[in-house]
Amino acid sequence: MRRKTVVDLQKMKAKNEKIAMVTAYDATMARLVDTAGVDMVLVGDSLGMVIQGMEDTLSVTLDDMVYHGRCVARGLSQAHLTVDMPFMSYQVSPEQALLSAGRLIQEGKAQSVKLEGGERSAAGIEKIVTAGIPVVGHIGLTPQSVNSLGGWRVQGRSDDAAEQLIQDAIAVQNAGAFALVLEMVPAELAAEVTAALAIPTIGIGAGPSCDGQVLVCNDLLGLDMSFSPKFLKRYAELENPIKAAVSDYIEEVRAGTFPTEEQSFHRHRTAKKITRLY
């Protein structure tokens, strides 16, 4: 079985087949979502919050992304792997963007890279694509710009903001990106962008009209029940069952009822030959 390619994903839009993408940050989760049949796996810089416990994504480094990309790649056999370019790994210049993208492909084992920004990132996208590296764009709520956006807010609600978002989407497509993430934008605007573009759109908090959807694996599995944004649907609620299982383990260890004979090993005993001397 081969991994999905850029061409496969673009054909899905042409056939009106929805693209399912989830994040993963390690080989175990990658294997599970890959076996389930997901089309794309994103190693998101959201690992700063989900894995590292940070308040935002801004502290994530390129080395972090390379490491987690490499881990996830080992767990995949069919899903396309895209890896986020973290804050300040591409903003300085198109040349810096290309070098960073090259590391994610060479060392992080990505098939494509994802970066934030519309018109402002177009030159970097074009530089990367020209070198033969596929790019996923990302507009709307761009977490690396959370400080300038004034927090985690829906983008594109006013007429002017909506027009700018459309221009950003066109700029990303014209620069050569093969897909575009739309995050936290009005559903009507996302539908308009999706209809206007030849490349697939992947929504998160962007309504049902996008060509695909993405969720963080930990969120859709309910590993943190305190996190409940409007766009999230939990397909499981695993936080409490996991805590209960660990509590049961602790109780048995302290009571001395684990491990039992079933979980124990023993030495091989060999009969000794006794020789009598007379």
Strands (E), 184-269: 201-204, 212-215
Give domain status of residue 230, yes or no.
Answer: no
Give domain status of residue 95, yes or no.
Answer: yes
Cis peptide before 186 (omega within 30 of 0): no
Q: For residue range 158-198, list pLDDT tens digits in order.
A: 999 999 999 999 999 999 999 999 999 999 999 999 999 99
Residue 96 and residue 116: Cα distance in Å, rounded? 15
| Token digits of residue 51 | 């894995």
Mean of pLDDT over the chain: 96
- Asked whether the CA dihedral 89, 145, 168, 188 is positive or negative, the reply is positive
What pLDDT score was predicted for residue 278?
A: 57
Give domain status of residue 225, yes or no.
Answer: no
Residue 268 has pLDDT above 80, yes or no: yes
Compute the residue count for the chain: 278
Give domain status of residue 13, yes or no.
Answer: yes
Instruction: Give the mean pLDDT of 208-215.
Output: 98
Instruction: Give the mean pLDDT of 136-162.
Output: 95
Instruction: Kindly give the interhelix angle for 122-130 and 159-175, rounded to the nearest 10 degrees.
Output: 20
User: What are the beta bridge partners of residue 183?
Assistant: 140, 204
Cis peptide before 143 (omega within 30 of 0): no
Instruction: Give the mean pLDDT of 224-250.
Output: 97
Q: For residue range 48-83, list pLDDT tens digits in order.
A: 999 999 999 999 999 999 999 999 999 999 999 999
Cβ contacts of residue 18 below 8 Å, gap of 6+? 12, 211, 212, 213
Residue 271 has pLDDT above 80, yes or no: no
Instruction: Give the mean pLDDT of 151-156.
Output: 94
Give domain status of residue 56, yes or no.
Answer: yes
Residue 205 has pLDDT above 80, yes or no: yes
Range of the domain at 129: 6-220
Residue 274 has pLDDT above 80, yes or no: no
Q: For residue range 5-20, list pLDDT tens digits in order.
A: 999 999 999 999 999 9
Residue 272 has pLDDT above 90, yes or no: no
Q: Which of 29, 39, 37 is nearest to 9 (CA)?
A: 39
Give domain status of residue 251, yes or no.
Answer: no
- Asked whether the CA dihedral 4, 81, 180, 211 is positive or negative, the reply is positive
What backbone torsions phi and psi does residue 84 show, to the nearest 5 degrees? -70, 145
- CATH number of the domain enclosing 80: 3.20.20.60
| Block residue for tokens 């001397």 | 277
Instruction: Give the mean pLDDT of 19-43.
Output: 98
Give domain status of residue 201, yes or no.
Answer: yes
Residue 270 has pLDDT above 90, yes or no: no
- Give how many domains the chain has, as a whole number: 1
Element (H, E) at 179: strand 179-183
Global pTM reads 0.94
Give domain status of residue 258, yes or no.
Answer: no
Catalytic residues: 183
What pLDDT score was predicted for residue 269?
A: 78
Q: For residue range 94-136, list pLDDT tens digits in order.
A: 999 999 999 999 999 999 999 999 999 999 999 999 999 999 9
Cβ contacts of residue 147 below 8 Å, gap of 6+? none
What pLDDT score was predicted for residue 276?
A: 62
Element (H, E) at 43: strand 40-43
